[in-house]
Amino acid sequence: MALARVVYYQVLGLLVLMTPWLSTMAAAHSHANELNEENASKAVDSILWIHIFLQALIWGVLFPAGMVFGIAKSRWHVPLQSTGIALTLGGYILGHSHKGRAFLASAHGTMANLLLIPILTQLFLGIYLKLHINEQTLRPWAVRLHGTVGKSYPILGWTQMLFGAITFRGYCRGGHLGQCLAHYIMGSGFIAYGMIMAILLLVGEAWVRRSGRSPEWWDSWYLSFSAVNTFTEHRGSSWSVKDMQHTILGVLWWTGGALGIFLARNNQRTVIPSIIIILTGWAMSEHAQALMISTRVHALFGYTLGLAGVTRIIEICFFVPTFANSGVAGKVFRHLPPFLLVSAGILFMSATDEELEFVHENEMDHVTYILIMFCISFILYLVTVSLINLYATSGRNASSFHSRTHPSGYDDTVVGGIELRTPLSASAANKWYARVPSRSGEPVREQQHILGEDDDDEN
């Protein structure tokens, strides 16, 4: 305890000494007044490249893994997050020390300074929790705040990396801002939807059971709240074709979402969210574009999104989540809807006018460009399922995983050990996620996830 207090006050003193220096550096590194044509055309130096790849590694892999370790109560949580914080501060310094290309003042630079708030908050709370003081008064609130801030890291990291890419290319300025908002917000929404679906299908069944709601009830609410383009697409006094299309898509999402919420009440299954996704995909595949490459990228985005909806309907109607009676095909099929949603999101984010004009000017064909986007989708979904697997096999879940895994490395229920399940009692067998009933009314056997206990965590 005494050693912990000494470390706490040493770190606190170091941060107090560093804060004025960091603030001075940020203020002195204003790009708005120093950017000219010569600086803007300079090559990107090695320091900036190190900053880019280091921060992408930290916020894209290191912090999310540390968050998962925190939720799973793993002893690796503190070392990983501490390393991430130290490297982030180093990356922050590198981002303000490069001598190559200069950039205009941007949201990326502003958010870099704002990110110091959650980083330092997480650090202070983590040290405080290790001191184990005020157990009955302040500590319970500190645990909750520490967990909330930690779980926000993937969202903050994704946003900041997106701002960084936009700043690097100089996109989204002037008249392009509206289109950037539409593509990047909705594309990120599809990616988030796919990741949430993957979590619910792979390790979230116990949580959804406790919620007393069917998965489509949550899907419908998500789609309803994601319909921001109802109010953001129309600008000016006249309505363009794109304004009308994008706005009506927003209306489609919240009207269909409202129907889905009603039909999914009392744990009922519904395919309405999937139909919304299919209609959105069809509409985007028919979206008129100025460039042929843009038309083709939008078309494949629409086909991918529509296929995600179709595979989700098949999953709802023919496969129960535990796939106890569905064999290997059912277990594999479960990954299709979320992966296709992630891929559709990446394709839509890559389809802004500025991006596709750049691709067109560099004489890259749509096939090459689309394949590059699918490569990114594979990487992103790999990170997603790796983190899910990390949760299922580490910390408080490690003993359950090892006790149910044969020496050959295969789980009793599912190859790969991601989905660990035990039989559900007969009384609750049809409570959640039942297959759409057949004419014979034959009951479907279900199982329950042994992971996901929702106690307080210190991530």
Q: DSSP string of 368-435?
A: HHHHHHHHHHHHHHHHHHHHHHHHHHSGGGHHHHHHTB-TTS-BSSSTTSS--EEEPPGGGTTSSSPP
- Reported confidence tier of residue 222, pLDDT bands at 50, 70, 90: confident
Contacts of 90 (CB under 8 A, 6+ apart): 54
Reduced to 3 states (helix: H, G, I; strand: E, B; else coil), residue 241 is helix
Please tell me which residue, 1 or 349, carries the higher pLDDT value.
349
* 411: β partners: 405
* Cβ neighbours of 285 (radius 10 Å): 17
Cβ within 8 Å of residue 173, ≥6 positions away = 104
User: What are the structure tokens assigned to 410, written together?
Assistant: 């295969």
Sequence-ordered list of residues with C-beta below 8 angstroms from that of 334, at least 6 positions apart, any chain: 201, 202, 315, 319, 321, 323
Q: Average of pLDDT values for 315-335?
A: 66
Question: In the block, which residue shows the tokens 């690097």?
Answer: 168
The residues facing 422 across adjacent strands are 448
Residue 165: CB atoms within 10 A of its CB come to 16
Alpha-carbon distances of 298 from 88, 282, 339, 370, 377, rounded to whole Å: 36, 10, 18, 10, 16
Q: Which amino acid is located at 348 in the chain?
A: F
The predicted-structure confidence for 181-221, as pLDDT tens digits, reads as follows 888 988 998 999 999 999 988 888 778 878 888 888 988 99
Residues 79-108 have a mean pLDDT of 85
- Place 450 in a pLDDT band, splitting at 50, 70 and 90: very low
- DSSP-assigned letters across all residues of 211-259: HTS-HHHHHHHHHHHT-THHHHS--SSSPPHHHHHHHHHHHHHHHHHHH
Tell me the pLDDT tens digit for each residue of 384-425: 999 999 998 988 888 766 555 544 444 444 433 334 333 333
308 close to 429: Cβ distance less than 8 angstroms? no
Structure tokens at 383: 């990170």
For 173, the 3-state DSSP assignment is coil
Domain chopping of the chain, boundaries: 1-170, 176-459
Q: How far apart are CA 132 and CA 259, in angstroms?
A: 49
Q: Which residue has the higher pLDDT, 152 or 331?
A: 152
Say if CB 447 and CB 422 are below 8 A apart.
yes
Coil, strand or helix at 449: strand
Identify which of 312, 121, 300, 125 has the alpha carbon closest to the alpha carbon of residue 201.
312
Which pair of structure tokens corresponds to residue 74? Answer: 């793993």
Among the listed residues 213, 414, 209, 212, the one whose alpha carbon sits nearest the alpha carbon of residue 332: 414
In this predicted structure, the answer to whether residue 275 has a pLDDT above a threshold of 70 is yes
Higher per-residue confidence, 284 vs 19: 284
Give the pLDDT confidence score for residue 183 in this predicted structure: 86
Average pLDDT over the chain reads 77
* Entry field: residues in the chain: 459
3-class secondary structure, 447: strand
Helix (H, G, I), strand (E, B) or coil at 448: strand
CB proximity list for 398: less than 8 A, separation 6 or greater? 72, 74
| Residue 235 pLDDT | 61
Higher pLDDT, 18 or 119: 119
Task: Identify which has the larger pLDDT, 302 or 224.
Answer: 302
C-alpha to C-alpha distance for 210 and 267, rounded to whole angstroms = 11
CA distance 444 to 316: 13
Percent of the chain with pLDDT over 90: 38
Which residues have C-beta within 8 Å of that of residue 362, sequence separation ≥ 6? none
Can you give the C-alpha Rg of the chain in angstroms? 24
pLDDT for position 17: 39
